[in-house]
Copies of this chain bind each other. A is one copy, B any other.
Amino acid sequence: MNLLLLTPSDFIAESRVRLTGRPLQHVLEVHRSQTGDSIRVGMLNGEMGEGIIVSLTEQAMEMDVCLDQAPPEPLPLTVLLALPRPKMLKRSLQHLSSLGVKKIILMNSYRVEKSFWQSPWLSEGKIHEQLILGLEQARDTLLPEVILEKRFKPFVEDHLPAIMEDKRGFVAHPVGGVPCPHQIDDEVVLAIGPEGGFIPYEVEKLEEAGFERIHLGSRILRVETAVTAIVSKLYD
């Protein structure tokens, strides 16, 4: 945790917060902080700054906080991710959140197992939890939006055109594309397939919607590694 995220309910006065639970445990056990120490804090969806610990017990911690710094710039990127298996979903959400992606669409694809849509990791609370972990890692406060699209064709035909407006679309696909470009300025919608990849019909539908195929060379990377690799090439 490189940033302690605050919410309005933590405030007991204008610049005083009172924390219990997971943040308190972390400060006690990992930071091993003491009264008087300062901790980097941020308001969820707001500014960042420092908190000075004014009291600390096993039950609760109080801090005086000063929030005066803007969070890092969001990436100009929307990620369409074919729903991964639960364990990888969890990691991918943390990952995307820590990279600065602010719009994530989890979508269906032929090779997505139906059971993945029943995963408890898709609950709003569990998704929120992973996104928060990513923000705390990266020192960011802006919570990404996550949208679930359980039907491929209606999504691509009816919702995707509005999402694509004024943006470039890239679909990561090992066959028939160009190497992933570096250091572009455009807003991008990036589609990443499931394990085993999109089927040809799906790649064609995405191409009809204006997507270009890109690849990462002959090595096959895991979904979360591929996301980091593409984001890192596209932007500074």
Binding site for B on A (CB under 8 A): 2, 72, 95, 98-100, 137-140, 179, 182-183, 217-222, 225, 228-233, 236
Q: For residue A232, which residues in chain B have a CB less than 8 angstroms away from its CB?
A: 228-230, 232-233
Q: For residue A137, which residues in chain B have a CB less than 8 angstroms away from its CB?
A: 220-222
Q: Shortest Cβ distance from A188 into chain B, in angstroms?
A: 15
Q: For residue A230, which residues in chain B have a CB less than 8 angstroms away from its CB?
A: 232
With A and B bound together, what is the CA distance between A221 and B95 in angstroms?
9
Q: Are A225 and B100 in contact (CB under 8 A)?
A: no
Q: For residue A98, which residues in chain B have a CB less than 8 angstroms away from its CB?
A: 219, 221-222, 225
Output the residue of A2, A99, A183, A236 with the most chain B CB within 10 A.
A236
Number of chain copies forming the complex: 2
Given A182-B183, A183-B182, A229-B228, residue A236 in contact with residue B217 (CB < 8 A): yes
Q: List 26 A-B contacts (CB under 8 A).
A: A2-B220, A72-B218, A72-B219, A95-B225, A98-B221, A98-B225, A99-B219, A99-B225, A100-B219, A137-B221, A138-B221, A139-B219, A179-B236, A182-B183, A182-B233, A182-B236, A217-B236, A225-B228, A228-B228, A228-B229, A228-B232, A229-B231, A229-B232, A230-B232, A232-B233, A233-B233
Q: Shortest Cβ distance from A84 into chain B, in angstroms?
A: 15
- Which 4 pairs show the lowest CB-CB distances between chains A and B? A138-B219, A232-B232, A229-B232, A228-B228
Q: For residue A217, which residues in chain B have a CB less than 8 angstroms away from its CB?
A: 72, 236
Output the residue of A98, A228, A232 with the most chain B CB within 10 A.
A232
Q: Shortest Cβ distance from A16 into chain B, in angstroms?
A: 27
Q: Shortest Cβ distance from A79 into chain B, in angstroms?
A: 15
Q: For residue A95, which residues in chain B have a CB less than 8 angstroms away from its CB?
A: 225
Q: Shortest Cβ distance from A29 into chain B, in angstroms?
A: 15
Minimum CB distance partner of A195 in chain B: B2
With A and B bound together, what is the CA distance between A232 and B236 in angstroms?
11
Q: Shortest Cβ distance from A142 into chain B, in angstroms?
A: 11
With A and B bound together, what is the CA distance between A127 and B117 in angstroms?
35
